[in-house]
Structures are given as structure tokens and as C-alpha cells.
Amino acid sequence: MKNYKIAVIPGDGTGTEVINEGLKVLEAVAKKCAFKYETVTYDFGGDRYLRTKEVLPESAVDELKTFDTIYLGAIGHPDVKPGILEKGILLKLRFDLDQYINLRPVQLYDERFCPLKTKKPEDIDFVVVRENSEGLYKGMGEFKDKGTPNEIATQISHNTRKGVERCIRYAFEYTKKFGKKKRLTLCGKINVLTYAWDLWERTYYEVAKEYPEIETDYAHVDATTMWFVKNPEWFDVIVTDNMFGDIITDLGAMIQGGMGLAAGGNINPQGVSMFEPIGGSAPKYTGKNIINPLAAICSLAMLLQELGEEKAATMIENSAKTVVKTKLKSLAAGKMGYSTSEVGDLVVENLQPINEVLDAKI
């Protein structure tokens, strides 16, 4: 029997509450799918930082490398200046563990929760492959004459051929394997950012030659946000850089019904990946048992998929869908008609027996 080693980082704010529901679902699904796991919980986050003045212990990255996967809640604390925890924990782990893909599915489960008037679940069902290790997030740049009237601040988007190519290759492979329309859209800004996007475009069309079965497609990032609202049904898989991916996936989260459902994974296909709901730590909802845990639960499904536990992943996704469709009044915190822990219980109750799952993919 497989035995997975899972590092758990609940993090800040509502992180703990949503991760607890995820772990509840994990326990149930492990029994049904006959695998074992061990968890080790780490207290990285704002409270630890305020207590110890240390953002992340020296040993953290090396220790995390010994796990099969990482399950993370949320990072961000109202008493800590913005940037410290995000850069010191979240981005540091993404970079140091070389999780160069940020995979973010956008799927509408129920049209009741879509802010777009005429769109149905079949219209909103795509995946964003966000480059996760380079671009503007690299943190390159400088101040000149800081604090003077002549101040200049430069922020560099750093794109390497190797970094761009591995991301684009992943996206083509992903489209080949999972794309429903076999269409991969490159989302960029070739008309203005003529260095970075020249490299991206050249690389994309070179790699595309190896995938004749995949339809190529390009959209400027500004137009992409327009299409998300007007014609989201066009999209299948989208590949883009770190900054654009960050922005368009928040819009993606909204059209699928909100942050309550938005799951994501920071993936190193050759190493240790880390799965997290894409919403933040939501301080104002913390400790009230009202936050929606489904984004964390769906992130757990992605985690299991990456570990190769495909049946378990499908069981969780199907159950989450059923709960959204048949139980919830809203996907928003405090308005679901159920508490955080009740939603976790509902997902457990609606897990279908393993042998029925593969025939009955909802």
C-alpha cells in the first residue's frame, strides 16, 4: 500500500480552518482508495514570524524536499507589512523548490454562482498554466535617487529560454493529455513587451511543431480579460507568464463563482509540489467557521492527482460538485447555508464508492 509523506502548512488566518476540512476529506478518501499517508504540520506564517522574528527557518526548504507533497492553507497576516510573508514564505518556497508551474483550473460548477448572465458550466471550463519561477516575480530591479524628485524605480521581467520553454512544454503536454478542445492559447503582450514576449512567442511556435494535434492560438492579455467575460467558452488551456497569470486567474476565480472554489497547485513535475487555494488568509472571516473550504478541498484533489491517486482526486471533485449543486445557497463566506466544517462533512458524505467513480464522472 502506498504511504505518502505530506507536509502541511496551514499558515495564516482562515488557512487552518480550510486545511482542517481538507484533511478530513483526505482521511475519508484514503480509506476508500486504500492508500496511507503521514502528515507533518509546520507553523510557518505570520504568528510564528511575530513571535520569533524569523520568516522561515534555515532548514525549512531542505526538510520540505523530503516530502512527497505539500498542502498549504494561506499566507498573509494583518499585523505584518505586506510583502514580508508573501516573499519570505510563499514565493521563497515556490522558487527554492523550483515549482515552475502554477496550475489553476477555472471551472463553473453551477450557473447559479456565475456572475455572467448567460454562461453555463459547459462555457466555463479551462485551465491556466502560469509560469511560476520567473518574470516580474524574480524581484530584479533597483531604485535610483530614492526619495528625491528624480527617483527612478526599475522592475525587470526576467525570462530565460530554459524557463519559458519548460513552462510551454508542460502546457502542451497538459493540453495533449487533459485538454478538451486540444487548444493551447498563449496569453501575452507581443505588441508592447517586445523582448520578453518575442522570446515567449518564438519558443511557443517552435515547441508547437512537436504537437501538430494541438491547435495554436494567441491572445493579448488585455483581450484575454475581455474574452473571459464575453466568450470564456473559447478557452481550453492557457499558458502565460507569472504576472499575467496572477492577474487573469483572479478574474478566472470570479467567473467560476468566487475564491471559495478557486484551487491551485505550484508544481515541480520532477520534484516536490505544493497545493493551495488561491484566495488569501481572509482575516475578517478567521475563526468564525464560515469560510468556504471547497477551494482547499479541490486543491487537495489536485494534490492527489499529482501523486497519481487519480481515482481519489475524481471522487473529491465529483463530491465537491454535488455539494455545490445540491446543497450550497452561495459560495461566499457566511452565506453558504452551512458552516465551514459542515461543508467538509458534506464532501465526505458525498464521496462515491470507488468502483462507481470512473463510470460516473460528473
Q: Which does 125 bind (CB under 5 to 8 A by kind): Mn ion, ligand IPM, none?
A: none
The DSSP line for 18-66 is HHHHHHHHHHHHHHHHT-EEEEEE---SHHHHHHHS-SS-TTHHHHHTT
Stretch of residues binding ligand IPM (CB under 6 A), selected from 15-23, 40-48, 85-93, 190-198: 85-93
Question: CA-CA distance, 38 to 24, in Å (whole number)?
Answer: 13
Interaction of residue 86 with ligand IPM, rule CB under 6 A: yes
- Cβ neighbours of residue 30 closer than 8 Å, sequence gap 6 or more: 36, 37, 312
4 forms bridges with which residues in the sheet? 37
- Alpha-carbon distance of 303 to 307, in angstroms, equals 6
Residue number with the shortest CB distance to ligand IPM?
A: 86
Shortest CB 155 distance to ligand IPM, Å: 14
Cα separation, 1 vs 17, in Å, equals 29
State whether the Cα torsion 203-139-91-12 is positive or negative.
negative
Q: Shortest approach of Mn ion to residue 246 CB, angstroms?
A: 4
- Least CB distance from residue 34 to Mn ion, whole Å? 36
Nearest distance, CB of residue 241 and Mn ion, angstroms: 13
Residue window 275-314: x/- pattern of binding to ligand IPM, with contact defined by CB under 6 A: ---x------------------------------------
CB burial string 15-32: b at 16+ within 10 A, e below: bbbbbbbbbbbbebbbeb
| Least separation in angstroms between CB 55 and ligand IPM | 13
Of the two residues 246 and 309, which places its CB atom closer to ligand IPM in the complex?
246
Interface with Mn ion by CB under 5 A: which range of 62-70, 124-132, 244-252, 300-308?
244-252
The full DSSP string for 6-20 is EEEEEESTTHHHHHH
Q: Which is nearer to Mn ion, 199 or 251 (CB)?
A: 251
Contact flag: residue 246 with Mn ion (CB under 5 A): yes
CA 201 to chain centre: 24
Binding ligand IPM by CB under 6 A: which of 21, 246, 306, 309?
A: 246
Binding residue for ligand IPM, selected from 7, 56, 60, 90, defined by CB under 6 A? 90
- Give yes or no for residue 267 binding ligand IPM (CB under 6 A): no
What is the nearest approach in angstroms of ligand IPM to the Cβ of residue 104?
8
* 127, 175 Cβ separation under 8 angstroms: no
Residue 22's alpha-carbon distances to 165, 247, 296, in angstroms, are: 34, 26, 6
Nearest-approach distance from CB 87 to ligand IPM, in angstroms: 7
- Which 8-state DSSP code applies to residue 233? G
Residues that bind ligand IPM (CB under 6 A): 86, 90-91, 246, 278
Residues that bind Mn ion (CB under 5 A): 246
